[in-house]
Chain A
Amino acid sequence: MSSSTRYITSMGELSRKDNSLIFRNDKGHKYIPIEGVKVIYCLNEVSINSKLLDFLARNKIIVHFFNYYGYYSGTFYPKEAYISGKVTIAQVKKFEENRLEIAKAIVKGIGINIYEVLYHYYKHGYKELKPLLNWLNKETGIILNKLDNIKQVLYLEGSIWKRFYETFPIYLPEDFMFNKRVKRPPDNPMNALISFGNSMLYTKVISQLYKTHLNQGISYLHEPFESRFSLSLDISEVFKPVIVYKTIFELVNNKKIQVNKHFEKQLNYCLLNENGRKIFIENFEKRLESSFEHSKLKRKVTYNTAIKLEGYKLIKNLVEGEKFIPFNLKEKI
């Protein structure tokens, strides 16, 4: 786990004590030195005060809040550290003049990365995946080129995800059979995993884009200001197959997460329990911190850094007109 990220999983109070953070609850207290800490996750009911927020802001620490049930509730985002009027203006201009270019690039990237994830299973004998692989490989690009409005692009994106979900019964254990994607509230264990995973990824992207000059309210695939960080929603998409789904598939196929042990089932919904969330986060972090040789940079980078690099690519597109090619799992760029 990256040492700059801290997780608070139990209930309690987080406050400032001199130049440290202190977390207290009925079990006692724990000091958290501030050096090197960049992100804090509150995954339970945590009380805070404005003195703490001021201290966190001055130290440029981001805090992501999730409620007891694992729903993302919001982010405390210190005043932007990197501001560039030039980039913001370019972002808006791009949205007005050629939003589709970026939106299409993202949808293409989703398809490529899903292909790569599924190809792994195909190689391991799941030949039923062939038609979808063909479609992703040959047809989506052609369809995409012909589209001329955002609605159609979003529709194609929807179809790609839908067809991807439909492959789950092929290679996942039976108790994780997936009927259909239900977001809020998730109604079965697989949906619960996806929802939690996607929210976690989203917060990771927010933290990384924070280090760039991008204005996170201006996005291309999602509607701008759909959320405060719509651009993070955009950038998350191509990493979902790579980070979220690969983590889920591994946990589920290796029985590290089990239906009867790691979920809380209520009448209409189903959520990961505390232990389940812990296991998920541990493996999710491991994947994000694992590194690969970047084909263009010729350096080792972690997947987490690759998220920040997406921000750089976008800035380069906006400022210098370079083609925007989202992270590609196969080519490692």
Chain B
Amino acid sequence: MKINGTLINYYFHCKRQCWLCANRLNMEDESEEVRIGRVIHENMAMDNENSELNVENIKIDKITKEYLVEVKKSDADVQAVKWQVLLYLKILKEKGVERKGKIEFVEKNKQNSKTIYLELTQELEKELELLMEEIEDYIHKKNPSEVLNDKKCNKCSYYSYCYI
């Protein structure tokens, strides 16, 4: 499976989640969080003409002259979103479109600001490549990692599967 933004995001959030998703074990969405996330995206899509762009297998929320914008419900997992956006920037760059990244959080808990800006430097690009190789290896393992036993599991769509 091609590494996409979702997988990168999951990899930081929870490796197990990444493995399950990459191996196409998708669960029926039960969690309210997942539903809310989708609704935010749908609303956005209606507000903006050029939002929800599909490039290869990634979904981009919004593109402006200067920025690629990713909208997230909460800032619980900043690291995950950052790498996800860097991947998008890289894919766009390969298509000849150079942009900077901008992440907007609808709800902020941890960060001071609601918006984060980032740029795809050469260094980061290398790091990203290594990261993708790492993920590639990981998802081809025979078994996923153990269940996290973390409170973030409560909001995960794999909760029932992981804890049953």
Which chain A residues have a beta carbon within 8 Å of chain B's beta carbons?
82-87, 211-213, 296-298, 305, 308-309, 312-313, 315-316, 319-321
Known A84-B23, A86-B23; contact A316-B161, beta-carbon cutoff 8 A: yes
Please tell me which stretch of B5-13, B24-32, B44-52, B101-109 contacts chain A, meaning at least 4 of its Cβ atoms lie within 8 angstroms of it. Answer: B24-32
Chain A CB within 8 A of B160 CB: yes
User: Cα distance A212–B27 when bound, in Å?
Assistant: 7
Number of interface residues of B (CB under 8 A): 13
- A211 lies within 8 A of B163 (CB): no
| Residues of the B chain whose Cβ atoms lie less than 8 Å from the Cβ of A320 | 143-144
Known A82-B26, A84-B25, A213-B25; contact A312-B144, beta-carbon cutoff 8 A: no
- B164 lies within 8 A of A316 (CB): yes
Most buried by A among B24, B27, B159, B164: B164
Complex: chain A residue closest to B24, CB-CB: A84
A-B residue pairs in contact (CB < 8 Å), sample of 24: A83-B24, A84-B24, A84-B25, A85-B24, A86-B23, A86-B24, A86-B25, A87-B25, A211-B28, A212-B28, A213-B24, A213-B25, A213-B26, A297-B164, A308-B160, A309-B160, A312-B160, A312-B164, A313-B164, A315-B25, A315-B161, A319-B143, A320-B143, A321-B143
Tell me the interface secondary structure of chain A in the complex: helix
Tell me the interface secondary structure of chain B in the complex: loop
A-B contact count (CB 8 A): 43
- A297 lies within 8 A of B163 (CB): yes
| Residues of the B chain whose Cβ atoms lie less than 8 Å from the Cβ of A84 | 23-25
What is the CB-to-nearest-CB distance from A183 to chain B, in angstroms, rounded to a whole number? 33
| Residues of the B chain whose Cβ atoms lie less than 8 Å from the Cβ of A315 | 25, 161
Other-chain residue from A86, A296, A308, A321 in contact with B28 (beta carbon distance below 8 A) = A308
CB contact list, B119-164 vs A, under 8 A: 143-144, 159-161, 163-164
- B25 lies within 8 A of A296 (CB): no
CB contact list, B1-47 vs A, under 8 A: 23-28
| Residues of the A chain whose Cβ atoms lie less than 8 Å from the Cβ of B28 | 82, 211-212, 308
User: Cα distance A87–B164 when bound, in Å?
Assistant: 17
| Residues of the A chain whose Cβ atoms lie less than 8 Å from the Cβ of B27 | 312
| Residues of the B chain whose Cβ atoms lie less than 8 Å from the Cβ of A212 | 28
Complex: chain A residue closest to B26, CB-CB: A82
| Residues of the A chain whose Cβ atoms lie less than 8 Å from the Cβ of B143 | 319-321
